[in-house]
């Protein structure tokens, strides 16, 4: 017969055993998933998920793509996504609202382009009188367009029309169908649109490099978004040393993606829904980096200040403090 004393003693021993066997606890958790957007920085995570050193910290690690910002935000809020590429302002917004989200790094210095069939479109001002499709209303592409139109003296709804889409590929389809004059999309969708048009006997141009227009309009010299956000639950799971291993794996992954884009594209082609050659082509236009958040702090804050000029609520009302920068 099991007495109460024996039961308590046995339970205590079980707890102590679990505490002394973190690998056992880890094994009971679902494998870590690295989440990325439908954009080329996700190639970095797909490659990092193959890293042998990272696999020692997070056995069974895998990669997946979120399809829209609402899915991403819900995943972070629910705890289902603990390592996820997000616009850096979104990470700051979460942090300033009290969620345990910090920024580990930035993964590109600009990958948004305006694509059109009009060879005469070369600057934002050339979009006067045009309709441009833009994914994700009230998200990074939209905020950038609004700032560029303002600087060019174009009034949205009067001088230029924005047609919002739920995803970047939807904008691509509108352009190919001739229902809009241009699209503002990240890579690899920009490369995908150009390739799809060519296959149909049409010509599309990477008309405007939004990165260059942004620098001219804002006086900044960097466009550090998006980056990898990590949650407190991930820190509890793999520890500070594990976060460092994750960052090092990402740094190695960036170099592999740049050096062998075809191989890297093959890892993410199914998730991104585009052919390998298109994704590989996009790498050269994506300005991929693996810059630690603390080293990019000045550039990140410059971006936050520009966004806050339009509406401080975009970043959660204030610049995040130093605790926001995880690495």
Tens-place pLDDT, residues 271-287: 999 999 999 999 999 99
Give a yes or no: residue 4 inside a domain: no
Look up the domain containing 97 and give its range: 16-109+223-324
- Residue 290's pLDDT band, with cuts at 50, 70 and 90, is very high
If asked whether residues 36 and 81 sit together in one domain, one would say yes
User: Residue 97: pLDDT above 60?
Assistant: yes
pLDDT at 21 over 50: no
Phi, psi of 184 (to 5 degrees): -110, 110
Say whether pLDDT at 214 is over 50: yes
Q: What is the pTM of this model?
A: 0.87
Quick check: is 8 in a domain?
Answer: no
72 shares its domain with 143: no
For residues 94 and 164, membership in a common domain is answered with no
Determine, yes or no, domain membership for 176: yes
Q: What mean pLDDT is predicted for residues 122-141?
A: 95
Same domain, residue pair 172 and 318: no
In a domain, 1, yes or no: no
Say what the pLDDT of residue 93 is.
95
Confidence of residue 18 (pLDDT cuts 50, 70, 90): very low
Asked if the model's pLDDT at residue 257 lies above 60, the reply is: yes
Do 123 and 202 fall into the same domain?
yes
Read off the pLDDT band of 30 (50, 70, 90): confident
Residues 65-84 pLDDT 10s: 998 899 999 999 998 999 99
Q: Is residue 280 part of a domain?
A: yes
For the chain, the distance separating the N- and C-terminal CA atoms, rounded to the nearest angstrom, is: 54
Spatial neighbors of 88 by CB under 8 A, at least 6 apart, are 103, 106, 224, 225, 226, 227, 300, 303, 304
For residues 200-214, give the mean pLDDT.
95
Is 85 in the same domain as 178?
A: no
Whether residue 86 is found in the same domain as residue 142: no
- Tally of domains within the chain: 2
Contacts of 228 (CB under 8 A, 6+ apart): 45, 83, 84, 85, 103, 104, 105, 107, 250
Whether residues 208 and 230 fall in one domain = no
- Strand partners for 62: 33
CATH number at residue 120: 3.40.190.10
Residue 6 lies in a domain: no
């Amino acid at each position: 017969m099991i007495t109460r004393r024996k039961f308590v003693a046995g339970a205590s021993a079980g707890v102590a055993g679990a505490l002394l066997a973190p690998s056992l606890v880890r094994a009971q958790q679902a494998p870590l998933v690295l989440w990325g957007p439908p954009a080329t920085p996700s190639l970095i995570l797909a490659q990092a998920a193959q890293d042998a050193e990272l696999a020692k910290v997070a056995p069974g690690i895998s990669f997946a793509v979120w399809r829209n910002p609402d899915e991403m935000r819900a995943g972070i809020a629910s705890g289902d996504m603990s390592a996820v590429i997000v616009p850096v302002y979104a990470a700051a917004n979460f942090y300033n609202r009290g969620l345990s989200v910090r920024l580990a790094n930035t993964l590109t210095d600009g990958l948004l382009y305006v694509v059109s069939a009009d060879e005469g479109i070369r600057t934002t001002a050339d979009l006067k009188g045009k309709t441009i499709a833009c994914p994700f209303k009230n998200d990074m592409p939209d905020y950038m367009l609004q700032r560029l139109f303002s600087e060019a003296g174009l009034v949205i709804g009067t001088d230029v029309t924005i047609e919002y889409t739920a995803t970047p590929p939807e904008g691509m389809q509108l352009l190919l169908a001739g229902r809009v004059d241009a699209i503002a999309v990240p890579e690899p969708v920009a490369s995908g649109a150009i390739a799809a048009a060519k296959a149909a006997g049409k010509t599309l141009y990477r008309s405007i490099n939004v990165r260059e227009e942004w620098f001219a309009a804002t006086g900044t010299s960097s466009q550090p978004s998006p980056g990898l956000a990590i949650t407190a639950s991930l820190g509890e799971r793999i520890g500070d040393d594990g976060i460092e291993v994750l960052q090092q794996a990402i740094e190695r992954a960036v170099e592999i993606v740049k050096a062998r884009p075809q191989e890297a594209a093959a890892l993410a082609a199914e998730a991104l829904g585009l052919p390998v050659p298109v994704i590989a082509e996009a790498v050269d236009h994506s300005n991929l980096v693996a810059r630690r958040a603390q080293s990019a702090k000045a550039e990140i804050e410059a971006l936050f200040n520009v966004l806050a000029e339009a509406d401080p609520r975009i970043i959660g009302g204030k610049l995040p403090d130093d605790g926001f920068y995880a690495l």
